[in-house]
Structure 1
Amino acid sequence: MSKDFYTAVKERRTYYGISKSSPISDERIKQVVADAVAYTPSAFNSQSARVVLLLGDQHDKVWDITKETLRKMVSADQFAKTEEKINSQFRNGYGTVLYFEDQTVIKGLQEKFASYADNFPTWSQQSSGMLQFVIWTSLEAEGLGASLQHYNPLIDDEVRKTWNLPAEWKLIAQMPFGKPTATPGEKEFMPFDERFKVFH
């Protein structure tokens, strides 16, 4: 890890300027993502998260799917802008992490613990959010920039079909990443006393 945890937390940002290069090996990327999947907490230790890591041509493919899906929905005169955004900010990266939640696990918990049934979808989303943050921050610590995208549910069916994924895997988010090529703008903070209080 090239940065300590607290530095990585502070410096984790949304990077739209990313390149098709990486300061670390594919094996290291796989290990970072695998460790996050293994050790990020989940309600009732449900381990409902499912992750697909796309590198090389497979990374390009998910953004080509996204473009072709949007081409059918966006007017021709507006599509050039959409295509440029996808190419320059997402497809131009080194890889993509796809986040899913396995609905079979959630339904099983709802049946087993009926009194908490309404909570399990919410807890699933919370766990997914933690996993996204852990991976995002870990990539930052390794010198990679990333952003979080939500083209689901528009691309869900094609993604499942392309990578032969179970129908029960619900796509939550997409995280393109690569070596940063541009610095994000200054982060703005609202008055901190509106967000954080201490009583003692």
Structure 2
Amino acid sequence: MSTFFEAIKNRRSHYAISKEQVVSDEKIQEIINEAVLHTPSSFNSQSTRVVVLLNDKHDKVWDITAAELKKIVPAENFASTEEKLNSFKAGYGTVLFFEDQEVVEGLQKAFELYADNFPVWANQTNAMHQLVIWTALEEVGFGASLQHYNPLIDEAVAAEWDIPSTWKLIAQMPFGKPTAQPGEKEFKPLEDRVRFYK
């Protein structure tokens, strides 16, 4: 199997991660830059936006998430929520994925026939960025998972990091050095999922 598929197979959800540095911050930036430059998008829209948070900025996003969740989760149930958030905070960094709605809306106006499709295609583009970055981080030794605390944290995140109002938060990806192996992955039968005709 090619190294490409080995990388895809190795990409798993890691929830036990640490702050131990695996590669330099410059290497992380290089991975993100390459992913954003070369991941495809519909109509070459390049609508995905990425914010990388390291060090105390990484800790801050999970403090924000905890503060927002405390407003809606009953106090007697918060311990398990806090434990989960602390497992993300225990990592080295977080990647925030956004879609620039100004780009999406511009395409909707320019190509009215496809207007309803552009938000869908934007989400597909964002998902491709998530997969590329996740796999690339895994390949250099990080473990990651994908989280969705939006729209709960959107306003506080935007205020903290001066995020443009047109950027819509899609997902959060905490990453760090894995401290445990992910669980076994179960696969549904391929014959139920793939049809091959020749």
Q: Give the TM-score taking structure 2 as reference length.
A: 0.98
Match of 1:45 in 2: 44
Match of 1:156 in 2: 154
Match of 2:105 in 1: 107
Match of 1:68 in 2: 67
Work out the CA distance in 2 between the residues paired with 1:144 and 1:110: 38
Residue 97 of structure 1 deviates from its aligned partner by: 0.2
Q: Percent identity?
A: 60
Q: Which amino acid aligns with 2:104?
A: I
Match of 1:95 in 2: 93
Match of 1:132 in 2: 130
1:17 aligns with 2:12: no
Q: Which amino acid aligns with 1:190?
A: K
1:37-83 deviations in Å (ceiling 9; x for gaps)? 11100000000000000000000000000000001111111111111
Q: 5+ unaligned residues in a row in structure 2: which ranges?
A: none
1:136-170 deviations in Å (ceiling 9; x for gaps)? 00011111000000000000000000001111100
1:194 aligns with 2:189: no
Q: Which amino acid aligns with 1:16?
A: Y
Match of 2:78 in 1: 79
Residue 174 of structure 1 deviates from its aligned partner by: 0.1
Counterparts of 1:171-182 in structure 2, within 5 Å, are: 171-182=169-180
Q: RMSD between aligned alpha carbons?
A: 1.0
Q: 5+ unaligned residues in a row in structure 1: which ranges?
A: none
1:168 aligns with 2:166: yes
Residue 4 of structure 1 deviates from its aligned partner by: 3.0
Work out the CA distance in 1 between the residues paired with 2:131 and 2:56: 25
Structure 1 stretches of 4+ with a deviation exceeding 6 A read none
Residue 196 of structure 1 deviates from its aligned partner by: 1.1
Residue 104 of structure 1 deviates from its aligned partner by: 0.2
Quick check: 1:156–1:171 contact (8 Å CA) kept in 2?
yes
